[in-house]
Structure 1
Amino acid sequence: MRWVRFLVDGQEWEGQWVEGQIVTQSGPVFADSQVKWLPPVNPSKIIGLALNYRNHAAELGLEEPPEPALFFKPPSALIGHRQAIVYPTGASYCHYETEVAVVMGRRCRRIKANEALDYVRGYTIANDFTCRDFIRNTFRPPVRAKGFDTFCPLGPAIVSREMIDNPDNLEIVTRVNGTVRQTGNTRQLMMSIPEIIAYLASFMTLEPGDVILTGTPEGISPVEPGDVIVSEIEGLGALHNPVVAEGGGQ
């Protein structure tokens, strides 16, 4: 199943997305072209892993972290499919980071990696949008760089875990204005998705709806207002987001 959240005439709905139509829980059916997409989940927390692909660490000239490098993105950063990312005034280098996002389905704490996927509701696409102006060794963790409003596009849908045979073998492609900028595969993850979940649950309680960003492969590059980013992941679809200048211009 593919679960979505959306607005029609200002009213919020949830439903299942099937072949261009969305069937709501209460019965009405909408064409997907009729709706304003929302993030498919409203999490209590969004936890990210930095430098979880060796080739991404290498392209930044950074050493592989001796333990998982974690950060939070605020829920206020969330936007949905086709919603605009706002490029901050005065910024000089902002970039996309396409990655698999895990959506938790059950509360868990102190679990083993081999049982971690049993606690997952499904997977979706995240763009961990980042303003590199605010990342320096002395400015870590990168709260400001990754925490702006609109800096966490998520969607279009949560794809149920039963539909994804192996989340650690999914192709990732990012296009900007139709040109491929980034490619990778989740089999290149240094810490696998079950390992990530078990590690986080070793010291914090993961709640239903919580989102885990699993890292991005190499291939980041700057974008500008007026660009359109398409983040595509095998089996999960494609997340489209235009970039606009703060204040509304390009």
Structure 2
Amino acid sequence: MSLVKRGTVYGTLMNFRGELDALGTQVNEPPYKAPPQAPVLYVKPANTWTENGGTIRVPAGTEVEVGATVAMVMKSPREVEGYVLMNDLRLPQDSFFRPPVRFNALDGFLGIGDRIRARNEAGDPAVFKLEVRINGELKQTVRFSQLVRPADKLLADVSEFMTLGEGDMLMLGCDVPRPRAKAGDRIDISMPALGTLSNLLVAESA
């Protein structure tokens, strides 16, 4: 299935148990002083999008964190059309609390798969499992059974405070620890039902 219309792409923070656990006592410190009570979202604007097979420019001499995930592709405000692979790259950061936009919104820093599997064909997202390889070496296995909010619950909670339109994409979240990659590395994120998302990192020109 190909996507006719691409809307806004939203990322989700702290939706994997390991990701939330890794924050430890930080969740009880200012400014929030408690774990999140609703989904924590951020936008990946159009300048960040890179197609499957495309190259992604990264700062020379800098490692980036790989964020292998699956996104729900919306058919209507509360109806999921299907699922697609994503690679949500970011610069390493120490805290999720008000991180600089540049960490998540650098040009090309979101690989988007070209295979969208219809919801009724993909199966239950709770059993999704992704494999992340860097230069052919397995670096991470992401199991979506570890979500804080499973896909349907995440969508329902997000829909309580905002409306998702046709073509919008909502990522389920990224598990930790995130593998790191650098210029010259090839990243492959695969899942049988969704195929493989591949991107090559190259150094930015001086």
SS at match of 1:131: coil
Ranges in structure 1 where 5+ consecutive residues have no aligned partner: 4-39, 109-115
Q: Deviations over 1:112-151 (max 9, x none)?
A: xxxx5xx01110000011111xx35486145211111111
1:9 matched residue in structure 2: none
1:195 deviates by: 1.1
The two structures have a TM-score, normalised by structure 1, of: 0.72
1:203 deviates by: 1.2
Contact persistence 1:183–1:218 (CA under 8 A) = no
The two structures have a TM-score, normalised by structure 2, of: 0.87
2-structure distance, mates of 1:56, 1:138: 10
2:200 is aligned with 1:225: no
Q: How many residues align?
A: 198
2:12 is aligned with 1:49: yes
2-structure distance, mates of 1:137, 1:210: 27
2-structure distance, mates of 1:138, 1:165: 31
Ranges in structure 2 where 5+ consecutive residues have no aligned partner: 28-33
Cα 1:41/1:240, change in 2 over 3 Å: farther
Residue identity (%): 30
Contact persistence 1:121–1:161 (CA under 8 A) = yes
After superposition, where does 1:1-250 map in structure 2 within 5 Å?
2-3=1-2, 40=3, 42-59=5-22, 63=27, 65-67=35-37, 68-89=39-60, 92-106=62-76, 108=77, 116=78, 119-132=79-92, 135-137=93-95, 140-247=98-205
Contact persistence 1:71–1:143 (CA under 8 A) = no
Larger Rg: 1
Q: Which has the higher contact order (CA 8 A, sep 6+)?
A: 2
2-structure distance, mates of 1:71, 1:52: 13
SS at match of 2:107: coil
Alignment RMSD: 2.2
Cα 1:83/1:200, change in 2 over 3 Å: same
1:178 deviates by: 0.6
Q: Deviations over 1:37-67 (max 9, x none)?
A: xxx4653311111121122344566649423
1-structure distance, mates of 2:96, 2:74: 32
2-structure distance, mates of 1:234, 1:217: 19
Q: Deviations over 1:7-66 (max 9, x none)?
A: xxxxxxxxxxxxxxxxxxxxxxxxxxxxxxxxx465331111112112234456664942
